[in-house]
Amino acid sequence: MSKTTNTTRAQESTNAIERLYITMRHLFNRGFYKPMGVSGETLRNALLQLRPEIYGTIAEEKAELSGLIYVLERLPEGIEQCRFINLTSDEGYGKSHFEAIVPPKRRRNCYRIDDEQMNIEITRGRSDIYDILTHLTFLFIESYKIATRVIIEDTGTTIRDWGKLENAISKSKLTQAEREIAIIHTANILGRSFAEIIEVYEKFATKKNPDRFLKIIYWLGKLAIEEELTGDKRAITFTPLLRERLGHHIHGERWSDAIKETLNTAGLLDRPIHIISANMHSVMNSLFARKALKKEFPNNDSLEIYEKLSSSENSALRNKVTAVAVKNGMIAIDDVSGTNIDVQIFDTAKFTDDVCSYAFSKDIPGEKKPIIFVMDYAFGEQAYETIDELLKPYKVKKNQPVFIDVHSISIMGKAGILEGGKGDLMIPTAHVFEGTADNYPFKNELTADDFTGNGLKVLEGAMITVLGTSLQNKDILKFFHASTWNVIGLEMEGVHYQKAIQSASKVRKSIREDVKVRYAYYASDNPLETGSTLASGGLGTTGVKPTYLITDKILEQIFKS
């Protein structure tokens, strides 16, 4: 008699993620689908089975509020009002009268075409599509919950609370009393308490639209109700140009060519290069801020200076540091390729002891001093596209290709930690690709010992490169953490960076085989702890200390090499 083998929640979740990605690829190839129709059912069911931590109570009847904040920060304002969502390539909308809408937490250009249609430009590869479709599926599930609670069965009419909400949002301005009455009715619609709604209300508000929360709930519900009562379904489409271009490194090649052309024009192409993937402020500030701001901060240590610089109120201080950097060899390249990855190039031969906080050995001649190349964060698979193109030789018309002398590649980023809290550090020894056994071990020039004694927890081990941070639940993460893979955290780019580095150095031989690599991450969240996921909010000043600690160690090694 055969024994029945029961699958674990982690195995079911892994299968759900696989189904999600296979389905998304299928729908992309098909060219369109209706999210609340038969074609979107597989996506909805897989997400409900997975129940990712970031989406909280998605599988329950009550509305998920923290997940809604997280999603709407990554989608264009007004998307909840649109029946038609069109995913496009860079098709020239920037040259039209349409004004680009950029979500606060995702650098993507979106265009409101009319009352019913939103176009979203995809220039960062498949990871961008996965991210958008996952967030949209969450939105559609939440809108369906509203419709289910509002429509009175067998009558086609709606409950009294819905009429009251509709009446409230029709007013141009609400008094405090009217707002609170509307919140009470909305709380009933969402299956949440008045206190819970009040807690998140301000997080949705904007200066122009203080009652945005009520309007979001109304429009999510309105379209879902119409869909239920009239059968007029919402649709997501992918343009033919997007389907044709995806995967061909079009934006990465444009980005890379512009950078190499700038290096060539400045006469820097034959110099040693150190590549750093980081943000657009920490390297510049680490190099110049302490000496540029010595009058403003004569007795402060570096961390206090960096915290002041990270505050939105101190633009004058940031401008002063930038001015010193530009005067001393920094070239800034704002992206026009569509990758949304800006670049800073630092010519270290122009650094002097009175402006820079780091120094090379005196016996290194100026023409041998390296270029420090800083690129903004890539997104998922875009990391492969950009680094793969950047490490290729540069062809100057009919001349021989010029090989770039890359000495090191350093990656600093945010990641989810599986043992620790926000701001703690992870030093990977290998990257493992989620859903496969593909693994990329490497010698990391950074070690845990480099960061001890700074009051932060430091973990060393393998890291998982996930297909999407919004698709992880506790069961999968506990499996990663407890398994012999010795996983310490999860992020979205490591495998893609290392794959490009290894192919360039070991197979294509376009860069030196002994190129040094450095990876270090600081924790943006701990998805295993309730209330510590990405949906619980940003790092604030907690991220300043680990950011600059990592930057300092990377620069220290570059200047000593």
CATH of the domain at 429: 3.40.50.1580
Strand intervals (E) in 448-538:
458-465, 487-491, 516-525
The residue among 221, 243, 265 that closes a domain is 243
Q: What is the pLDDT of residues 257-269, one digit of tens each?
A: 999 999 999 999 9
Residues 337 and 476 grouped into a single domain: yes
Specify whether 252 is located in the same domain as 239.
no
Are residues 113 and 146 located together in one domain of the fold? Answer: yes
Query: Is residue 144 very low, low, confident or very high in pLDDT (cuts 50, 70, 90)?
Result: very high
Task: Answer yes or no: do 239 and 263 share one domain.
Answer: no
Q: Are 461 and 428 in contact (CB under 8 A)?
A: yes
pLDDT of residue 2: 52
Mean pLDDT of 120-125: 92
What is the crossing angle of helices 544-560 and 282-292, to 10°?
90
The one-letter code for the residue type at 460 is E
- Shared domain for 162 and 262, answered yes or no, is no
- The range of the structural domain enclosing residue 373 comes to 247-560
Kindly state whether residue 1 falls inside one of the protein's structural domains.
no
Q: Is 409 exposed, middle or buried (0-12, 13-18, 19+ CB in 10 A)?
A: buried
155 pLDDT tier (thresholds 50, 70, 90): confident
Query: Would residue 544 count as lying in a domain?
Result: yes
Number of domains in the chain: 2
- Of 191, 223, 243, the domain-final residue: 243
What is the tens place of the pLDDT at every residue in 403-448?
Answer: 999 999 999 999 999 988 889 999 999 999 987 889 999 999 999 9
Q: Are residues 363 and 494 in the same domain?
A: yes
| Predicted local distance difference test score (pLDDT) of residue 1 | 46
Q: Which pLDDT belongs to residue 14?
A: 86
Residue 124 and residue 380 in contact, taking contact as beta carbons nearer than 8 Å? yes
Say whether both 298 and 211 belong to one domain: no
pLDDT of residue 539: 55
Same domain for 323 and 417?
A: yes
pLDDT above 70 (res 469): yes
**Burial (CB count <10 Å: 0-12, 13-18, 19+), residue 97:** exposed
The average confidence (pLDDT) of the chain is: 92
Eight-class DSSP state of 101: B
- The residue among 196, 217, 243 that closes a domain is 243
Give yes or no for residue 319 having a pLDDT over 80.
yes
490 is a domain residue: yes
Question: Span 237-250, mean pLDDT?
Answer: 91
**Phi and psi for 511 in degrees, rounded to 5?**
-130, 170
Q: Could you tell me the CA-to-CA distances from 500 to 27, 248, 474, 497, 510 in Å, in that order? A: 28, 15, 30, 5, 11
Q: Would the pLDDT of 168 be above 80? A: yes
Contact 413, 493 (CB under 8 A): yes
Give yes or no: residues 290 and 390 share one domain.
yes
Q: Give the integer Cα–Cα distance in Å for 422 and 545.
A: 11
**Domain check: are 323 and 461 in the same one?**
yes
How far apart are alpha carbons 69 and 200 in whole angstroms?
A: 8
Residues 21 and 160 in one domain: yes
Does one domain contain both 167 and 207? yes
Cβ atoms of 235 and 83 within 8 Å: the answer is: yes
In a domain, 2, yes or no: no
Confidence check: pLDDT of 153 > 50: yes
Look at the chain and count its residues. Answer: 561
